[in-house]
Amino acid sequence: MTAYTAASLKAELNERGWRLTPQREVILHIFQELPQGEHLSAEDLYERLSAEHEGISLSTIYRTLKLMARMGILRELELGEGHKHYELNQPYPHHHHHLICVRCNTTIEFKNDSILKIGSKTAQKEGFHLLDCQLTIHAVCPKCQRALMPL
């Protein structure tokens, strides 16, 4: 997998019979500029775009996020907050997984090449084309564990 650019997104969309709309290009650009470790929900993205005076509706944002996740451009994440978050699906070696505290939603990203190798091997064995392989571990962080301990 290679990093996505507007040109590669346009080519892939055209290949599937879709267009690179200005809205899709703006949304891709936002995700390309996100600091590593930052994840956006549809609502977060809408607020950011509104602040930049981009007139993109929330329904267009939802459709675009779903489309880009299906294409493997974005990773769809369940971070324990009741709604999905998204990040750019980075190529190896930037591939990572998530450890999430179920009480305070603290999220830690970590790398483990074995997980990707197992996912890739399994997909290949079954004739699938791997778009993404992610492990999400739900746990309780040390701070929340201390808060749960009786004195």
132 or 64, higher pLDDT: 64
The domain limits of the chain are 1-90, 92-150
Mean pLDDT across the stretch 30-53?
Answer: 86
Separation of alpha carbons 45 and 38, rounded Å: 12
**Is 50 exceeded by the pLDDT of residue 1?**
no
**Is 80 exceeded by the pLDDT of residue 66?**
yes
What fold, for 92-150?
Answer: Dna Ligase; domain 1 (3.30.1490)
**Residue 100, number of CB atoms within 10 A of its CB:** 21
Separation of alpha carbons 115 and 117, rounded Å: 5
User: Would you state the pLDDT for residue 58?
Assistant: 92
Task: Count helices and strands (H / E) in the chain.
Answer: 6, 5
**Is 60 exceeded by the pLDDT of residue 94?**
no
Whether the link from the prior residue into 93 is cis, omega within 30° of 0, is yes
84 or 122, higher pLDDT: 122
What fold, for 1-90?
Answer: Arc Repressor Mutant, subunit A (1.10.10)
